[in-house]
Chain A
Amino acid sequence: MRRMIAVLLENEAGALSRIVGLFAQRNYNIETLSVAPTEDVNLSRLTITLRGDDAKLEQIIKHLNRLIEVLKVADLTDGEHVERGIMLIKVRAEGASRAEVKRSVEIFKGRIIDVTPRMYTIELVGSADKFSAFMATLEKRSIVEVVRSGLAGISRGEKALIV
């Protein structure tokens, strides 16, 4: 099962390496990771997605909490949540497929941010599901380059991960 964990940690040298190290050391796989400072410059927020069952997730959360610099950990997949990432794709767009690609971008509410006679560079914002759905519309051979950010996640409603 895919899980999304949010972590608030002290923005200190070495703190991130402790988290990444923990995943390697305990044999947990990170699928995506995003990290940046929050409104409080002393705090960073991470969003990690990974696959695992309940028992595994429980252990990961406990281990994260055990790190001295970690303030809060939450399983966002435990409730309703929103996730967003950004994907940039460079595709070959020539002849008939050029219009086809453009239509798909519109349907997925993406943007074409750079154009050459043979290529489109596309920007897409959304969830992991949306990314894979969009990728499915493209002919595999036409994809030149894909870059995806890690996902950022937040709970819906009143629930908040704050200090």
Chain B
Amino acid sequence: MSKDSAELMAQKANQEVQNESPVKALVPERLSGGDMLLRALDDEGVEFLFGYPGGQALHIYDAIFRQQRIEHILVRHEQAATHMADGYARATGRTGVVIVTSGPGVTNTITGIATAYMDSIPMVIISGQVPNNQIGTDAFQETDMVGVSRPIVKHSFLIKSAAEIPVAVKKAFYIATTGRPGPVVIDIPKDMTDPNILFDYAYPKSVKLRAYNPSLKGHPRQIKKAVELLLQSKRPVLYAGGGVVQGNASDLLIQLAKRLNLPVTNTLMGLGSFPATDQQFLGMLGMHGTYEANMTMHHCDLVFAVGARFDDRVTNAVDKFCPDAQIVHIDIDPTSISKIIRADVPIVGLVDIVLKSIVQQVEKALSGALELPDYKEWWAQINSWRNAHGLDTDARLANLKNPKILPQQVILSLYRATQGKAFVSSDVGQHQMFAAQYYKFDEPRKWINSGGLGTMGFGLPAAMGVKIAFPNETVVCVTGEGSFMMNMQELSTCMQYGLAVKVICLNNQALGMVKQWQDMQYGGRHSASTYADSLPDLVKVAETFGHVGMRVEALAELDAAMDELFSEKNVNKLVILDVKVDPEEHVYPMAIKGGSMQDMILTRGESI
């Protein structure tokens, strides 16, 4: 072949390619149900799938194998897949995606779905199901996933025809992320993903559901009323919850608080939405909230609630709640408003949009005749509470007494070593409360914990989800030995994907929170809350899984060990730091059952 003819052929081939492309665009791609699912997830912008395979999901898993754009993370237990997706979602604001097989695969996800549901976390769970013609026959590994998950999902889909898959995916993400976010299940019978049956693939740009219109601006008249109340109030408090974090409204909350010099308290879920190092921050409120936060709530004349839901762990006895206060309540979910505490000014809307118009109206009022409200007396009162019994006044923490380690000191040491900048996930128990009280979160989405459901076993997989989203950030899991053992099999997953999470175990050799309640309410009878003689050596556990283990048993070693944990040599390693803490320590303050918010026990044997 001459050089010319070769060139000619190449030119011709190029032309053909060019000619072909417009034609190709008109003819839709033909894909199987399984491939459509993966393409739809990709078109939705999904980066990671957290999952575990099995029979009814095998067509889907083959489709996963045949594509490169989405990475699948293989966990060791489906519950962990949901918590990983959850941690990923909490830290990034994006939707976490889980994929599991039918039967035991889906039942293992239930705890994680319920956890996400209670905390309004966007999640999509894709589950394999037995083929359509076997549904209802008690087929092998058949579980009615839509039925089992119904009370703990925002919505669910059972795919009845494979052609629906792209639209169902679009709808699922739309529902999971808009309004009050939450988990959505897509249950897919195996025959829907048959690799031999092809469909025209097209991903919808948008979907409309005529019965679902979530974006809300808040009622202008109510917003006006709220601003009036705020500007008239002599003793206001901003009570901000997880809705501010999830609704990306932290900046506006800060703006409002700063403009008027308002005191701010956060719920367990809201921590980080207002900078904890700021003077205006009173700390967490509620059952284990700070003295000043709970006193401020009880004595205020205006509760300005933003993205919070007056949980029973906050209010204590409802009939004694904030006796002198009017209540403004901003929330995206109308069912949260006036559910527990009747709101004087209910505002249903997206917190960022509502706060924006509140900030604007406050600004307008202040630029007019109105003078800046003066809360001098109120702040003097609040500061006197803070100085009397604030967390910083715990003399035991200042007077170090080697070798005993108080769990609070571990959190303080962690805070120092990470300069307050780490992502911190926690499990559930005393360690969780100590972390919430003593790690000062200055940014939203850095505190990752199961607030509503209180799920032990959440911490490690959630931290892994965060680490996958932010591989270069410091991610810490503060845990207790009880919680840690509920999902420690995931140490193997961490090895597979190189997830260098730092695990700090406040090891009190007991189900500490349960034991505390038994100490306080059951005459110290420790029914099924201790197991000191049968615990594994967590250093060896770490090593068995190929990671690094460290132990601290005396206070004098704590800071050095903490520094080593975060030292350069450990940057790419998962390290478990097992800290032997004082098993007798209780979490205080603690609300007195049946009392108002000002009724707290502050230290052992004392009450106010």
Residues on A lying within 8 angstroms of B by beta carbon are 9-10, 13-14, 17-18, 21, 25, 55, 58-59, 62-63, 65-66, 68-71, 163
Of B146, B175, B210, B335, which one neighbours A71 at CB under 8 angstroms? Answer: B210
B1 within 8 Å of A by Cβ?
A: no
Residues of B with C-beta under 8 A to A163: 210
**Do residues A21 and B150 form an inter-chain contact, with CB atoms below 8 A?**
yes
Residues of A with C-beta under 8 A to B158: 13-14
B338 within 8 Å of A by Cβ?
A: yes
**Do residues A62 and B334 form an inter-chain contact, with CB atoms below 8 A?**
yes
Of A9, A13, A17, which one neighbours B160 at CB under 8 angstroms? Answer: A13
Residue among A9, A10, A17, A68 with most chain B CB within 10 A = A68
**Do residues B335 and A66 form an inter-chain contact, with CB atoms below 8 A?**
yes
**CA of A60 to CA of B212, assembled, Å:** 17
Residues of A with C-beta under 8 A to B147: 17
**Do residues A68 and B150 form an inter-chain contact, with CB atoms below 8 A?**
no
Residues of A with C-beta under 8 A to B342: 55
**Do residues B151 and A25 form an inter-chain contact, with CB atoms below 8 A?**
yes
What are 19 sample pairs from A and B whose C-beta atoms fall under 8 A apart?
Answer: A9-B211, A13-B158, A13-B160, A14-B146, A14-B158, A55-B342, A58-B338, A59-B335, A59-B339, A62-B334, A62-B335, A63-B335, A66-B333, A66-B335, A68-B175, A68-B211, A70-B211, A71-B210, A163-B210
**Do residues A21 and B151 form an inter-chain contact, with CB atoms below 8 A?**
yes
**CA of A70 to CA of B213, assembled, Å:** 11
**Do residues B211 and A10 form an inter-chain contact, with CB atoms below 8 A?**
yes
**Do residues B210 and A55 form an inter-chain contact, with CB atoms below 8 A?**
no
Residues of A with C-beta under 8 A to B155: 68
B209 within 8 Å of A by Cβ?
A: yes
User: Interface size on B (CB < 8 Å)?
Assistant: 20
Chain B window 109-153, contacts with chain A (Cβ cutoff 8 Å), 1 for yes, 0 for no: 000000000000000000000000000000000000011001100
In the complex, besides A21-B150, A68-B154, A68-B155, 17 extra interface pairs with C-beta distance below 8 angstroms are A10-B210, A10-B211, A13-B158, A13-B160, A14-B158, A17-B147, A58-B338, A62-B334, A63-B335, A65-B334, A66-B333, A66-B334, A68-B211, A68-B212, A70-B211, A71-B210, A71-B211
Query: In the complex, what's the smallest C-beta–C-beta distance from B118 to chain A, in angstroms?
Result: 13
B:414-456 near A, CB below 8 Å: none
Residues of B with C-beta under 8 A to A13: 158, 160
Residue among A21, A25, A62 with most chain B CB within 10 A = A62
Residues of B with C-beta under 8 A to A55: 338, 342
**Do residues A68 and B209 form an inter-chain contact, with CB atoms below 8 A?**
yes
Query: In the complex, what's the smallest C-beta–C-beta distance from B453 to chain A, in angstroms?
Result: 15
Query: In the complex, what's the smallest C-beta–C-beta distance from A59 to chain B, in angstroms?
Result: 6
B156 within 8 Å of A by Cβ?
A: yes
Looking across the interface, which residue of chain A has its beta carbon closest to that of B209? A68
Looking across the interface, which residue of chain B has its beta carbon closest to that of A55? B338
Looking across the interface, which residue of chain A has its beta carbon closest to that of B155? A68
**Do residues A18 and B160 form an inter-chain contact, with CB atoms below 8 A?**
no
Residues of A with C-beta under 8 A to B151: 21, 25
**Do residues B335 and A17 form an inter-chain contact, with CB atoms below 8 A?**
no
Residues of B with C-beta under 8 A to A62: 334-335
**CA of A25 to CA of B153, assembled, Å:** 13
Residues of B with C-beta under 8 A to A10: 210-211
Residues of A with C-beta under 8 A to B334: 62, 65-66
Query: In the complex, what's the smallest C-beta–C-beta distance from A26 to chain B, in angstroms?
Result: 9
Residues on B lying within 8 angstroms of A by beta carbon are 146-147, 150-151, 154-156, 158, 160, 175, 209-212, 333-335, 338-339, 342
Residues of A with C-beta under 8 A to B156: 14
Query: In the complex, what's the smallest C-beta–C-beta distance from A112 to chain B, in angstroms?
Result: 42
Residues of B with C-beta under 8 A to A63: 335
Query: In the complex, what's the smallest C-beta–C-beta distance from B169 to chain A, in angstroms?
Result: 15
**CA of A153 to CA of B146, assembled, Å:** 31
Query: In the complex, what's the smallest C-beta–C-beta distance from A124 to chain B, in angstroms?
Result: 36
**CA of A9 to CA of B211, assembled, Å:** 8
**CA of A17 to CA of B147, assembled, Å:** 8
**Do residues B339 and A17 form an inter-chain contact, with CB atoms below 8 A?**
no
**CA of A48 to CA of B135, assembled, Å:** 30
Query: In the complex, what's the smallest C-beta–C-beta distance from B345 to chain A, in angstroms?
Result: 16
**CA of A13 to CA of B154, assembled, Å:** 16
**CA of A68 to CA of B172, assembled, Å:** 11
**CA of A71 to CA of B212, assembled, Å:** 8
Residues of A with C-beta under 8 A to B338: 55, 58
Residues of B with C-beta under 8 A to A71: 210-211
**CA of A9 to CA of B333, assembled, Å:** 20
Residues of A with C-beta under 8 A to B212: 68
Query: In the complex, what's the smallest C-beta–C-beta distance from B49 to chain A, in angstroms?
Result: 24
6 closest residue pairs by CB, A with B = A71-B211, A62-B335, A68-B155, A62-B334, A25-B151, A68-B212
Query: In the complex, what's the smallest C-beta–C-beta distance from B152 to chain A, in angstroms?
Result: 10
**CA of A65 to CA of B348, assembled, Å:** 13
Looking across the interface, which residue of chain B has its beta carbon closest to that of A65? B334
* Given contacts A66-B334, A70-B211, A71-B211, A18 and B339 within 8 Å (CB-CB): no
Query: In the complex, what's the smallest C-beta–C-beta distance from A132 to chain B, in angstroms?
Result: 34
Looking across the interface, which residue of chain A has its beta carbon closest to that of B211? A71
Looking across the interface, which residue of chain B has its beta carbon closest to that of A163? B210
Residues of B with C-beta under 8 A to A25: 151
**CA of A58 to CA of B209, assembled, Å:** 24
**CA of A78 to CA of B147, assembled, Å:** 33
**CA of A163 to CA of B146, assembled, Å:** 27
**CA of A62 to CA of B155, assembled, Å:** 16
Query: In the complex, what's the smallest C-beta–C-beta distance from A98 to chain B, in angstroms?
Result: 48
Query: In the complex, what's the smallest C-beta–C-beta distance from A71 to chain B, in angstroms?
Result: 4
Residue among B147, B156, B212 with most chain A CB within 10 A = B212
**Do residues B150 and A17 form an inter-chain contact, with CB atoms below 8 A?**
yes
Looking across the interface, which residue of chain B has its beta carbon closest to that of A22? B151
Residues of A with C-beta under 8 A to B209: 68
Query: In the complex, what's the smallest C-beta–C-beta distance from B160 to chain A, in angstroms?
Result: 7
Residues of B with C-beta under 8 A to A59: 335, 339
Residues of B with C-beta under 8 A to A17: 147, 150
Looking across the interface, which residue of chain B has its beta carbon closest to that of A66? B335
**CA of A70 to CA of B151, assembled, Å:** 16
**CA of A14 to CA of B212, assembled, Å:** 17
**CA of A59 to CA of B346, assembled, Å:** 14
**CA of A65 to CA of B333, assembled, Å:** 10
Residues of B with C-beta under 8 A to A68: 154-155, 175, 209, 211-212
Residues of A with C-beta under 8 A to B154: 68
Residues of A with C-beta under 8 A to B150: 17-18, 21
Residues of B with C-beta under 8 A to A14: 146, 156, 158
Residues of B with C-beta under 8 A to A66: 333-335
Residues of A with C-beta under 8 A to B333: 66
Looking across the interface, which residue of chain A has its beta carbon closest to that of B212? A68
Residues of B with C-beta under 8 A to A69: 211
Query: In the complex, what's the smallest C-beta–C-beta distance from A121 to chain B, in angstroms?
Result: 35
**CA of A14 to CA of B209, assembled, Å:** 16
**CA of A76 to CA of B583, assembled, Å:** 59
**CA of A13 to CA of B160, assembled, Å:** 10
